[in-house]
Structure 1
């Protein structure tokens, strides 16, 4: 079981009318082992805001992530959405956290 969960709130390429190969990712959640209580909290609007960028600094996805309290600030916390979805799905290389630049990470 994972100690975090994330959701994609905006697929920037789809929103701009660029035809992404995978369709509109808005509403995608993960990881597959995310606990129901954390997914429920995301559905209720909780979570820290992030944006996933490619290596040209183009924003691909924005969303929110929530973690078990003892996980905040860990590597899983900082790179989870990038490692789980942004990198393998779209080649994203950077996650930036709104209000928490110390959490920004490259992968």
Structure 2
């Protein structure tokens, strides 16, 4: 999910983590060996980590936009100019991650 912490991305990512982890756990056979469980956890991490990192990077951008300095003012001005296409791209990114 590509939201900032102020938009609830921490909560959203934790819910998506729980759903994704549950999906991987369901795939385990009863009384699976420890190495099989470890592989499932690695697969879970491989699936979720890119999304969490992207969410973190987006939150840094938002932090820069909300600051009270010249850099933030320039970022806000530029984002207003291209806001429609940027908003559309972000909506597409946000809906791509559905476990």
Q: Please indicate, yes or no, whether the TM-score normalized by the shorter chain is above 0.5.
A: no
Structure of higher RCO (CA pairs closer than 8 Å, 6+ residues apart): 2
Larger Rg: 2
More strand by share: 1
- TM-score in terms of structure 2 length: 0.31
More helix by share: 2
